[in-house]
Amino acid sequence: MNHLKDIVHRTPLQTSTSINEMTGKNIFFKMENQQKTGAFKVRGASYKISQLTQQEANRGVIAASAGNHAQGVALAASKRGIEAKIYMPEHTPEAKIRATKAYGATIMLTGESFQEAYQAALEDQEQNNSVFVHPFDDVDVMAGQGTIAVEMLEQNPDLDTLLVPIGGGGLISGVAVAAKSIKPDINVIGVQAKEASATYNRFYKKGASSLTQVKTIADGIAVKQPGMATFPIINQYVDEIVTVTEPDIASAMLYMLERNKSLVEGAGASAFAGLLAHGKHLNAQNVGIVVSGGNMDVSKMPTIQHLASNHKVRHLA
Residues annotated as part of the active site: 41, 292
Distance CA 45, CA 76 (A): 7
Helix (H, G, I), strand (E, B) or coil at 299: helix
Closest Cα partner for 100 from 50, 63, 48, 145? 63
Q: Are 267 and 221 in contact (CB under 8 A)?
A: yes
Q: Are 253 and 234 in contact (CB under 8 A)?
A: no
Q: Are 313 and 255 in contact (CB under 8 A)?
A: yes
Q: Residue 236's Cα: distance from chain center in Å? A: 20
Q: Are 59 and 85 in contact (CB under 8 A)?
A: no
Q: Are 218 and 163 in contact (CB under 8 A)?
A: no
